[in-house]
């Protein structure tokens, strides 16, 4: 009975060729995430995967690294409705912002009593005895430290789309939606209501060890950034903050990189092979010697 060829198994599965086995010995499989990303970047350079696929894979990795506090909408930026007030007072806010969900508060922002779905307000025009409290859905409360990958799993399992973020003292720190998490993977998700997002380009967040901090979209124009942060970065080499960062470093930075520019400390919160997405900016105090 003839023997099977060396590269064929009796179960029909092909053995790795000698060349493949030698290559595996010389270039072992990646042992950590950094090595895996290097392999993926190499695959992108050899056109084995496109830029969109690489960007989404990097986004998946970043989701497991980031926590809720990194991307949440701060408390001061939350659009809420106060159910202690007549519906006529806050209905214009609902129409103007055009969100699908709103945290409902009972007089103050730390007393979130539920989530109101905008579509439920249709009953206001159809029912004579419309009770806002009866329309509220339960609010989900999560800590600032919760990892985004865990939150995404919870969102999917419980069919929730919004969560209220609380700090260590149980005070409301902000909110986060499933869209916010998914955008870390696939990029910004725009709908027909996203006409003007400039007001969200630079968001003030909790003060850091050095001083005031902001979460900044990389596409923010330098002129707007300077105005809101009180900086004087040059517009000679770039129009946007992301472009300025890439120009300053001479390359596309990686997530987690930190560097100083003027009296500002920049940290790359999210970036992929093609572009920078989000930066954390902290103002460095100016010493008395620098003033003199």
Q: How many domains does the chain have?
A: 3
Which among 248, 276, 250, 273 has a CA at the least distance from the CA of 262? 248
Residues 236 and 263 in one domain: yes
Separation CA 53–CA 62 (nearest Å)? 14
Q: Length of the chain, please? A: 292
Residues 249 and 236 in one domain: yes
Burial class for 172, CB neighbours closer than 10 Å (0-12, 13-18, 19+): buried
CA dihedral 107, 112, 113, 116 (to 10 degrees): 100
pLDDT per residue over 97-147, tens digit each? 888 999 999 988 899 999 999 999 888 877 777 888 989 999 999 999 999
Q: Average pLDDT for residues 42-57, to the nearest whole number?
A: 78
CATH number at residue 90: 3.10.580.10
Residues 202 and 153 in one domain: no
pLDDT of residue 124: 82
pLDDT per residue over 4-39, tens digit each? 444 444 444 445 565 555 555 455 566 677 778 788
Residues 95 and 166 in one domain: yes
**Residue-number span of the structural domain to which 246 is assigned:** 198-287
Residues 96 and 178 in one domain: yes
Asked if residue 173 belongs to a domain, the reply is yes
Residues 164 and 94 in one domain: yes
Residues 38 and 125 in one domain: no
Give 223's DSSP letter.
Answer: H
Asked if residue 86 belongs to a domain, the reply is yes
Asked if residue 244 belongs to a domain, the reply is yes
Contact 161, 176 (CB under 8 A): no
Residues 147 and 235 in one domain: no
Asked if residue 5 belongs to a domain, the reply is no
Residues 46 and 88 in one domain: no
CA angle, 262 then 267 then 272, to 5°:
125
Give 228's DSSP letter.
Answer: H
Assigned token pair, 138: 């339960």
Asked if residue 247 belongs to a domain, the reply is yes
Asked if residue 75 belongs to a domain, the reply is yes
Residues 42 and 82 in one domain: no
pLDDT per residue over 68-94, tens digit each? 988 888 888 889 999 999 998 998 888
CATH number at residue 260: 3.30.465.10
Tokens 């850091």 identify what position? 208
Asked if residue 91 belongs to a domain, the reply is yes
pLDDT of residue 16: 56
pTM, 2 dp:
0.58
pLDDT per residue over 60-70, tens digit each? 887 888 889 88
Residues 74 and 161 in one domain: yes
Tokens 């100016």 identify what position? 286
Separation CA 106–CA 181 (nearest Å)? 27
**What are the residues facing 67 on neighbouring strands?**
147
Domain-terminating residue out of 12, 44, 65 = 65
Q: Average pLDDT for residues 223-247, to the nearest whole number?
A: 90
Asked if residue 12 belongs to a domain, the reply is no
Domain-terminating residue out of 156, 184, 212 = 184
Q: Is residue 168 scored above 90 in pLDDT?
A: no
Domain-terminating residue out of 127, 159, 184 = 184
Residues 250 and 227 in one domain: yes
């Amino acid at each position: 009975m003839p023997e099977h060829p060396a590269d064929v198994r009796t179960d029909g599965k092909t053995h790795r060729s000698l060349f493949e086995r030698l290559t595996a010995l010389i270039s072992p499989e990646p042992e950590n995430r950094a090595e895996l990303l290097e392999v993926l970047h190499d695959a992108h350079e050899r056109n084995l995967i496109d830029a969109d696929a690489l960007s989404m894979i990097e986004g998946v990795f970043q989701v497991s690294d980031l926590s809720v506090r990194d991307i949440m909408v701060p408390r001061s930026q939350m659009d809420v409705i106060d159910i202690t007030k007549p519906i006529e007072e806050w209905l214009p806010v609902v129409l103007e912002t055009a969100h699908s969900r709103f945290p409902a508060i009972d007089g103050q922002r730390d007393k979130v009593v539920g989530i109101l779905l905008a579509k439920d307000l249709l009953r206001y025009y159809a029912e004579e005895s419309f009770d806002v409290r009866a329309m509220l859905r339960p609010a989900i409360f999560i800590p600032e430290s919760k990892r985004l990958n865990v939150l995404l799993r919870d969102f999917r399992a419980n069919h929730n789309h919004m969560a209220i973020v609380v700090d260590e003292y149980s005070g409301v720190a902000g909110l986060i939606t499933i869209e916010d998490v998914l955008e870390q993977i696939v990029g910004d998700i725009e709908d027909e209501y996203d006409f003007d997002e400039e007001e969200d380009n630079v968001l003030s967040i909790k003060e850091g060890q050095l001083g005031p901090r902001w979460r900044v979209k990389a596409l923010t124009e330098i002129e707007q950034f300077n105005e809101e942060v009180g900086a004087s970065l040059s517009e000679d080499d770039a129009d946007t903050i992301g472009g300025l960062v890439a120009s300053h470093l001479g390359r596309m930075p990686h997530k987690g990189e930190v560097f100083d520019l003027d009296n500002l400390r920049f940290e790359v919160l999210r970036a992929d092979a093609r572009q920078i997405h989000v930066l954390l900016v902290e103002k460095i105090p100016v010493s008395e010697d620098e003033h003199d």
